[in-house]
Amino acid sequence: MNGEGLYLLEPAGKTFKLQFKVLKVYAVEKTPHQEMMLVELEGFGKALVIDNFIQSTEADEAFYHESLVHPAMALHPDPVRVLIIGGGEGATLREVLKHGTVREAVMVDIDPVVVEFSKKYLEYMHQGSFNDPRSRVLIMDGLRYVKEAPSDYFDVAIMDLTDPYAGDVAKPLYSEEFYRDVKRVLKRDGVMVTQAGSSYFYTSEYDYVLGNIGRVYRYTAEYNIWIPSFGLNVNFIVASDTYDPYSLTARDFDERLATRGVKTRFINGERYRGLLAIGALRPLH
C-alpha cells in the first residue's frame, strides 16, 4: 500500500493484483456463504464487494450488465418469460425489465442475505426492480431450480453467476448437464446467455464452458468486454437452437430495443456487432 488509508487489494488474473483506495465503508454483512461490503472506491464510486472481490461499481456496472442481458434479449423476437440464475444485486433483473415484452422475470439466488442486502443498500443498482410486479425472486440453488422447473416455459435464460474457476461450488453451474437442464426449461426457440469468466487469464476453464454449451446448442457466439474495475476481460456466450446470434444485424438490434422501450448507456447494435467480431481473447503465446 502507498500512503495512508484503507486499500482493497484484489487478485485479478493469475499473475497480478489490483489496488483500490477505499474512501468509505457503508455496510458489512456476513452470511454462511460469503462476506459482503458496500464501499466507496476512489475513481469508481459505490461498489459491491463480496469476499474481497469487486462485483460491480457505479462507474462501470453498465458495461457488464448491459452486455450480459441485451444481446440475448434482442436475439429473441418476443421475450415474455425470462429466467435469471444469480444476479443478487438486482441489476440484471433491472435490465431485463426494461423490455416491454416481459411479463414475468424469475430470479433465482442461493443467498437470501445478498438479496436483502441489495434491497437495503443497492437502490442505485436495482432501481426498484425487486418491487416490479413482473418480478419473482426465489431463494434456492439454481441447480435444483432448473431440475424442478417446468419444461418449455422460458423464452430467455440468463446466467449471472460466480466465475467458473471460483471453486468446486461453481463448476457444476457450467457443466453440460446444467446446460441441458436449462435447455429443458426453455421453449424450443429459447435463448441462453452466460458470463463465462476471462478467456485470457483462465483459458482452459473458459474453453470448458464453451465446449459444454457447444454440445448442447446449435448456435453459439462468443464475445467479451474489458471491465475496468475487474482489471480483466469478461466473456459471455450466447446460444440458441433457433436463432443465430451472428444473423442479428445492428439495425435489428437497435430497432428491437427501441420498440420495447429499452434505453441503454453502453450497448447498441454497432457495439453488439463489434463485440461479436472480437469474440474471445486468448494469450498469443
Residue ranges of the binding site for spermidine: 65, 89
Helix, strand or coil, per DSSP, at residue 103: coil
C-alpha dist (Å) from residue 168 to 39, 150, 164, 201: 28, 27, 9, 19
Judge whether 114 and 81 are in contact, CB under 8 Å. Answer: no
Residue 70 phi, psi dihedral angles, 5° rounding: -75, -30
Spatial distance between the Cα atoms of 181 and 48, rounded to a whole number of angstroms? 30
Q: Residue ranges for the binding site?
A: 34, 65, 89, 109, 141-142
| Residue in 60, 155, 160, 163 annotated catalytic | 160
To the query of whether residue 189 is one of the catalytic residues in this protein, the response is no
Counting every residue written for the chain, the total comes to 285
Helix, strand or coil, per DSSP, at residue 134: coil
Q: Residue ranges for the binding site for S-methyl-5'-thioadenosine?
A: 34, 109, 141-142
CA 220 remoteness from chain centre: 17
Nearest to 193 by CA among 89, 70, 279: 70
Q: Say which residue the cell 416490479 belongs to.
A: 132
Catalytic residues: 160
